[in-house]
Amino acid sequence: MKASDIMTTNIVSINSLMTIAEAAKFMKQHNVRALIVDRTSDQDAYGIITATDISQAVANAKNPQETYVYEVMTKPCIVVNPDLAVEHIANLFTRAKIHTAPVIKDKLLGIISMTDILTKTNGLIENTTQLTPQKIEESVESAEISLDRSRENEWGLDYDNWCSG
């Protein structure tokens, strides 16, 4: 299964000159937790603003009526190729500590989230897989490895300035 199979194609986007109060209202209207921030030109990168970004801004005493989206959004953000396998997307999200990313190939095609991965793939567990004590133990060991925050960043990337959604 690929990103294009489970992505959401109904994309909700906003202008970076909107206030975060307007962005929050927009999120509520459209029942989403992340918005794609429109590019200012064809050469520009897309941005993303999430409910978490807005919450953190308010927690840091930023006035939602006076703080603009461009001040708290993440840009550029991690993007997903529509042909990328769901397993790799889940791995990417875990490593980058994100929950949402735009799907782009030459143009914006959709958006994918952890919710899409979990709800549209049956949790990545195929119905034909029979769980045995050995497979459960291997899964637990694998989960413990991925939760080990002390591991060095194998890709050499700094995720602090990427999508935080």
Look up residue 10 and give its DSSP letter: S
In order of start, what are the domains of the chain with their CATH numbers? 3-148 (3.10.580.10)
> Does residue 137 surpass a pLDDT of 60?
no
Report the alpha-carbon distance of residue 73 to residue 77 in Å, rounded. Answer: 9
Convert the pLDDT of each residue in 30-87 to its tens digit: 999 999 999 988 889 999 999 999 999 999 999 999 999 999 999 999 999 999 999 9
Q: Is 105 exposed, middle or buried (0-12, 13-18, 19+ CB in 10 A)?
A: middle
- Tell me, yes or no, if the pTM score tops 0.85: no
Look up residue 123 and give its DSSP letter: G
Percent of the chain with pLDDT over 70: 74
> Does residue 104 surpass a pLDDT of 70?
yes
Average confidence score pLDDT of the chain: 82
- State how far Cα 2 lies from the chain centre: 16
